[in-house]
Each structure stands twice: as structure tokens, then as C-alpha cells.
Amino acid sequence: MAIIEVVDLVKRYDRKVAVDGVSFTVDEGEIFGILGPNGAGKTTTVECVEGLRSPDGGTIRVDGLDPRRDRAELRTRLGVQLQQSELPDRIRVGEALDLYSSFYRDPADWRELLERLGLGDRARTEYRHLSGGQKQRVSIALALIGRPRVAVLDELTTGLDPQARRDTWSLVEQVRDSGVTVVLVTHFMEEAERLCDRLALIDAGRLVAVDSPAGLVSRVSDEQTVRFRPAGPLDLDLLRELPEVSHVEQHGPRVVVTGKGNLLHAVTSVLARNHVVAADLRIEQAGLDDAFIRLTGRALTE
Amino acid sequence: MLKIVKIEWKLFLREPVSVAFAIFFPSLLLLVLGALPALRTPDPQFGDLRFIDAYVSTLVVIALAFLGLNKLPATVATYREKGVLRRFSTTPVSPARLLLAQLAVNLIAGALSITLLMVVCRVVFDIDLPHHPLGFLVTCLLGMLSLSALGLLVAAWSPTARSAGGWATVAFMLVMFFGGAYLPRFLMPDFLARVGEYLPPGVVALQESWLGAAPDPVHLGVLALITVVAGTVAAKSFRWE
């Protein structure tokens, strides 16, 4: 069931169109990604969903509410982690959570929340003494403190080191597993591919596609590549005869086979029948970044 | 709301420089000036008052000006720049509450600072407690509010925390100058002294209600007018992000 519906959203800044007719729905209980390069209109889109900006056109419903008209009620059901939003330097983590929990009718127990986010021993630490990853976790905690039905997380892992990024990802999965619908804004392919159940691909204010990560990839290409080093002599024509194979090349000791369908199985069967052992066997598939390049005609640069 | 004020008050107390300047500096300055015998001797220039008697209102100006025109715009502009206000606007509580809490913190800090000053005046220098307590209270209140309204106006119009700091410093210096912090008011040309009478936080009204009679209602009226006008313009034109 859809918990967020966006239909034909348009937002202009002066004359520049930031969001141009974007439509999508977010289902309850999923992690929905909004992926695109910087300046594509991702943040503007979610800010309209959050009721922080008025759309110039289109309609938005969040849990049945109009984000502008029902602003007050929306605030109690939607948790927001803003891009680049900090707290006062000298506020303690526990104080911040206690304060923000007092804003809601039925808040979560903030001590428990801190424990869950691995900040249990940081309640008395001043905000300015936290690491980047810890600040992001406080930010997630504040987004969840009001027990929202939907949490919007904007550029959650930007600026974090790889370890902190992976830790944060598993937190987001935990949040989803606790029943909260998550909208994740990101420009990291890896993050989108790893976390999102479905993705909206946005480029230059327009929606390019909405699908699961695997679905997006298969739209542009179901081509695969198998690479290996045969231990003995191998007649490459045996591989070329296979219906799955479109192309075979030899690079020194290495054989590169390109094709579709169940390519790996077809290739290994031929090798087994001919008693050739394959070393360094690798299979490569197109990824989300290939899909992005094909769908938008340009690379998503970071 | 009380919780926000409580947290903001705690945050204020954790800034040693602010606390030192807003709360202790006026009393300390009085102690230093009062240590000079010349400033403790009655002078016909002040109608047989001592320099320190004539200077008490200026000390109040220093405390209020620091809170209203230095601490307030700096804090508010920083909160805006760091996204503290924006984060508030994603919760059921309006970010305007955060500004009101700042005002409350200013009133509490101002009251503390002036109380301490009155105690030092009375105990160390035998200066009377305000002769007209109600007038003094009203003047202090209007003085704090008018300066805070101007401070919010500065914060509202400045694009960054840095520029807010710059403009606030200009306003702070002007208020300090006309309040007699740099050049004693009796040395000022008549015209400048007259301007100072009407500028927040009302140095003459403070002086009158402390050591003379009731403050001039015109002075108080001007302070109230500045509060309302600057406060309204600040509220209407405030950029939350």
C-alpha cells in the first residue's frame, strides 16, 4: 500500500525549474531510494514531501495528508534527517534527545533509542565532541524520536568514512525492519544498490525511471561477462557455438566470454565436458552505474 | 517551551566568555573604576555626584547591549547557518519558539547582571538602590526588549553568521558609544547626548529611575516603539534558512 504519493510535482526557483513533473509512490515498509547526481532535484523533491517547500504544481499525499495544509499533523508522523543540519556545539546528546522528545505526544524512549543506535555511552557528550558518524546517528535518532511512520534521510552517509558508512547502512535496515518506511536520498550508487527496495532515478529535475535496483539494471542490459584462465588448451569455437554466448576473446592466457542468460552455467559445462580446469573464474554483470549512464546518457560523478 | 528555555539557558552558561561579559563585566568595571579615588570624589560637574554614580546607567547599557546586540544575533545567525532552526521546523514545534527562548535567556541574564551590579553598588560604593524601582524595572525590560528586537533584525537581514557578527558589532559600538561607555556622557556635545537619550536601552531613563525620579514617559515610549517596529520587521523578514 502506498504511504507516499507524488503526482506531477513541479518546483521552480525564480525561472529555473528544479523539479519538473516528477511522480512516484512509496509503499509502506520499504526503503525507497531517490538517486541522482548533485543538483538533480532530489532534495527539493523530498523537501516538498516534508512540507518545507510549497510545490508550484502537482499533488503530494503523505499518509493521507497534504504536506502544506496538514503541516502540523504531518510533523508528528514524518521524521526528517536533513542534509547538513547540526545542533548547538555545547548541547549534550541526552539533552538534545530529551528536548526533541518533549515535542511529540507519544515519543520513543530516547535512552533506548540511543542504545539501539550505539550511542548509549554518549548521552553526556557535547555535540561538538562527536565524530561525523556519531553526529549522523544522533541525527537519525532525532528523526525517529517521535515514532514516525515515515523517515526521510537525506544524504545520510556523505562525508563518512567507509566503516561508518557501512554501520549506518545496517542501522537504516534496522529502522525499516522496525516497521518505519524509509525514504533515502543519495548520490551513492553503492548505497542505493545495497539498501533500497525500489529506486527513483532523477536527473535534471526529471524522473528517469522507478524500479528495483536489479530491475533498473536489467532494463538496460542483461549482458554478462565471464573471465577465466584455462589450465589446458581450449578450443574457443566450442564456446562460440553456445547460444548464450555473443562474443569470445583471448587476452594472453585469459579468456573473456560475453553473453546473456545463464552464461556461467553454459561456459562451465563446456569446460567440464572437455576436462579443462578454469582458474581465476570471474563473472561480471552490469551495475547500477551502467544503468544510470545508459538511462541518462551521462555518468553519475561523485 | 520551558524546556527549550532551560536548555538554552544551560547552553548560555556553558559559554564562559558570554557569561563573564554579560553577567560579571559591568560589576567588575565598576569595582575597577571605583578603585580610583578621583572617580569616588563628588564632582560639581555631575551635580555633586561622584563619577561612579553617574556611570551606573552606562554599566547597565553595557550588559544589555552585549546580550541584545552581540550574543543574540550571533546565536540566532549561527543556529540558522548550522540548520538548527531548520531541524526545528521539521518537528511539531515552531522554530520561532527557539527565538523566544533566546529572548527569555536574555531577560534572565540581564536581570542577574543588573542585580549583581545593584548589590556591588550598594555594598561597596554606598550607591542607593534604584529610587524608582518600578520605573527602573520597566526601563530595563524595555531596554532589553528593544535591543533584542534590533539584534533579531540584524540576524534576520544578515545572510551569514559572519556578516551578522559584523553588523551586530557596528550596532553594539554605536549603542555603547551613545550610552557613554567610551566617552562619559557629560563630555559629549549636546547634540550627541540628546541622541543617546532616545537610543535603546535608554541610558537617561535608566539613570533617572536609579538615582533621580520617575523615567520620562517619552523615553520609555520611544523604547517601546523601537521594540514593536524592529520586532515586527524582524519577524516579517526573518529567513529561517
The residue ranges of every structural domain in chain B are 2-237
Are residues A85 and B87, on separate chains, in Cβ contact within 8 Å? yes
Q: Which of A69, A60, A20, A216 is nearest to A150 (CA)?
A: A60
A-chain residues within 8 Å CB-CB of B93? 103
Cα–Cα distance for residue pair B188/B196, rounded to 1 Å: 10
Cell numbers linked to B2: 520551558
Average pLDDT over residues A165-190: 89
pLDDT of the residue at A301: 54
Tell me which chain B residues have a C-beta less than 8 angstroms from the C-beta of A86: 82-84
- What pTM, to 2 d.p., does this model score? 0.82
Residue A302: pLDDT over 50: no
SS3 B49: strand
- What integer is the mean pLDDT of A19-40? 91
| pLDDT value at residue B229 | 93
Which chain A residues have a beta carbon less than 8 Å from that of B240?
none
Q: Where is average pLDDT lowest: A222-236, B8-22, B141-155?
A: A222-236
Q: Is A161 on the interface with B (CB under 8 A)?
A: no
Check residue A223 and give its pLDDT: 78
CB-closest option in B7, B89, B92 to A76: B92
Q: What is the DSSP string of B60-99?
A: HHHHHHHIIIIIHHHHHHHHHHTTHHHHHTTSSS-THHHH
Q: For A101, name the nearest residue in chain B, comparing CA atoms only.
A: B91
By C-alpha distance, the chain B residue nearest A105 is: B92
Mean pLDDT of B25-44: 87
Q: Which of A233, A284, A232 is nearest to A258 (CA)?
A: A284
Q: What is the pLDDT of residues B158-170, one digit of tens each?
A: 888 888 888 988 9
Q: Which residues contact A193 (CB under 8 A, 6 or more apart)?
A: A213, A287, A288
Q: What is the mean pLDDT of chain B?
A: 88
ipTM value > 0.90: no
Looking at CA atoms only, how far is residue B26 from chain A in angstroms?
26
**C-beta separation of A103 from A143 below 8 A:** no
Per-residue confidence (pLDDT) for residue A165, from 0 to 100? 85
Of A95, A103, A142, the CB nearest to B92: A103
Confidence category of residue A300, pLDDT binned at 50, 70, 90: low
Instruction: Give pLDDT tens digits for B91-110.
Output: 999 888 999 999 999 999 99
- Chain B residue numbers with beta carbons less than 8 Å from the beta carbon of A146 are 91-92
Q: State yes or no: pLDDT of A201 exceeds 70.
A: yes
- Interface residues of B toward A, Cβ cutoff 8 Å, are 3-4, 7, 10-11, 14-15, 79, 82-84, 86-87, 89-93
In this predicted structure, what is the pLDDT of residue A299?
A: 66
